[in-house]
Structure 1
């Protein structure tokens, strides 16, 4: 794809300053050669709060659960003062399918959504590639969702009010999970929260070329991650949509979606196209393209005005979805 030098969307000025302060290392791409070293580094440096730490001096009830018959761990948390069955946010962490952990995302989810909205949260410890390749990570997520819905009464959650969500790779898993549970007749979520979701293994969009070497997650990192996840199936013409939701040809009958992405990131075009495909199928999607935002901008620059706007918009959508009576489309 032929792009003139410099033909990239400008970064938001505040985000650009933060990115510059992080230096060039933040843009070092993930490659097959450095993948193992990057995974070791992530394991050593990414926070992994304990159950005791997540309880935050008794403000939250937190339990580590195992799905019988499958090697997958769920971290279940809810505000300690909450009574009655709570709506559930079933969440999958990011990390390009090759990094990340379930506990690391919980402090923010509990602080920003569980307490203010009266939510229970389950964070899924799905298998990471290349050790766990498709369909194993998705099946981990499906098994946990089905088990949680089946045991809703014991978990104190409302099985009729489940939102599935995730960020980056986790957003892609959430989109795939919505497709899979629809087609298997599994639990029916009331919404899917897709934050800069990783949806397309093909790496052929305009933005994937445009942001090469510019975004902190670019086409080199993206190709490395998809190859790790798909193995010999990488690039296959008949790859199922559950592996890469952008491959889906039928997006009907899905729960309402919230999709957000930055204008200056690799995933921009695949995420915009996914929202458009949902609309074309007669579904509902709320799409936000944050101007001048790079991938994961709100994590790298949480105090930036654009990051705060993004978090507030997500919270407003969640509040609206959760306010709807059961079995009423939002």
Structure 2
């Protein structure tokens, strides 16, 4: 369950303590991550328009991936219950098929991101795991709060399952995946597919996922000032996604999968978490609950890391991708 590579302590600039026994100066980040912290911009989900502009600026700086092994096409999927069509981008390997199929839901705190945000990751998955990737541009909050985003993602799953022949996908070899808020969407879609007797899934791949709106875990209480993501950001995110006063209302497990009372009958899971991430404990806790419910689940906890730590072009990010690709290949081979 733990990634055990030794970490050399790295001193980072002191910041206000984020909880009992925890301060920024006491955390031992991996050296290749510690040197990046000062340059990481704030993507404030409390200001969706500003966060979207900042993210677009970052995307413009990222080098384009090598897509030579793929055919990439754009499609639209019928939206749920008369809602607007859902744009999707399909990455198809040029190798002989049919292939396994992966539905990818991008991160962004439910308020930002589009088909470009994790384009490079989709290229890597399609190329290295030799699978068809369907990346989904779901509607964003606060303009389109829950359940718009997760219903869009479920519609994309249904469309993919109905069109496996045209897409070059082996029927019955579908997986869902996402990072951060995309992880919440992947877990929520897995619950929907079970509850609605929808398409069968062979894997839910959840990378540092958003799982529970209650934010009452030790990591959520401690990490108030961590790089990239912190509990104050989580509070803003849930307000945007669920609306003002959501604390007084019952939250659907399709929004916050940790609210689900019964996890039996769900697809196997592979979960990645980061040590200095407020979402750490809810991801680990969800994996343990899946195991107790009889659902196969792997939990890979990376020491010395923070939220989206694998997105900065470091060798560590490559190691994480190798781990995720292996999980996908194994699921599609079973």
Q: What TM-score, normalized by structure 1, do the two folds share?
A: 0.87
Taking only aligned residues, the RMSD between alpha carbons, in angstroms, comes to 2.3
The equivalent position to 1:108 in structure 2, one of 115, 121, 131, is 121
Shift of 1:257: 0.3
For the residue of structure 1 that corresponds to 2:276, the secondary structure is coil
Shift of 1:309: 2.6
Partner of 1:46: 59
Evaluate the alpha carbon distance shift between residue 278 and residue 47 of structure 1 in structure 2; reply closer, same or farther with a 3 A threshold: farther
The equivalent position to 1:260 in structure 2, one of 272, 297, 303, is 272
What are structure 1's unaligned runs of at least 5 residues? 325-330
What is the distance in 2 between the residues matched to 1:118 and 1:316?
A: 11
Shift of 1:323: 1.5
Partner of 2:152: 140
What is the distance in 2 between the residues matched to 1:180 and 1:93?
A: 18
Partner of 2:91: 77
What are structure 2's unaligned runs of at least 5 residues? 1-17
Q: What TM-score, normalized by structure 2, do the two folds share?
A: 0.86
Partner of 2:175: 163
The count of aligned residue pairs is: 311
Q: Deviations over 1:254-296 (max 9, x none)?
A: 1110000111111111011000110111111100110011000
What is the distance in 1 between the residues matched to 2:306 and 2:44?
A: 17
Question: Does the 8 Å CA contact 2:129/2:326 hold for their aligned counterparts?
Answer: no
Runs of at least 4 residues of structure 1 off by over 6 A? none
Query: Which stretch of structure 1 is more off in the superposition, 243-252 or 61-70?
Result: 61-70
Q: How does 1:159-198 map to 2 (within 5 A)?
A: 159-198=171-210
For the residue of structure 2 that corresponds to 1:122, the secondary structure is strand
Question: Does the 8 Å CA contact 2:188/2:256 hold for their aligned counterparts?
Answer: yes
Partner of 1:293: 305
Q: Deviations over 1:3-46 (max 9, x none)?
A: 135386421232112224x1xx63x47263x3332223334543
Question: Does the 8 Å CA contact 2:59/2:117 hold for their aligned counterparts?
Answer: yes
What is the distance in 2 between the residues matched to 1:63 and 1:55?
A: 15
The equivalent position to 2:37 in structure 1, one of 12, 15, 19, is 19
Question: Does the 8 Å CA contact 1:166/1:174 hold for their aligned counterparts?
Answer: yes
Partner of 2:240: 228
Question: Does the 8 Å CA contact 1:75/1:102 hold for their aligned counterparts?
Answer: yes
Shift of 1:2: 5.5
Q: Deviations over 1:46-95 (max 9, x none)?
A: 3599xxx8894x53211111113542111111122x23321111100111
What is the distance in 2 between the residues matched to 1:299 and 1:10?
A: 19
Question: Does the 8 Å CA contact 1:46/1:100 hold for their aligned counterparts?
Answer: no
Shift of 1:250: 0.6
Question: Does the 8 Å CA contact 1:114/1:120 hold for their aligned counterparts?
Answer: yes
The equivalent position to 1:303 in structure 2, one of 292, 314, 319, is 314
What is the distance in 1 between the residues matched to 2:75 and 2:317?
A: 32
For the pair 1:211 / 2:223, whether they are aligned, the reply is yes
For the residue of structure 1 that corresponds to 2:278, the secondary structure is coil
The equivalent position to 2:73 in structure 1, one of 48, 63, 69, is 63
Question: Does the 8 Å CA contact 1:64/1:75 hold for their aligned counterparts?
Answer: yes
Partner of 1:328: none
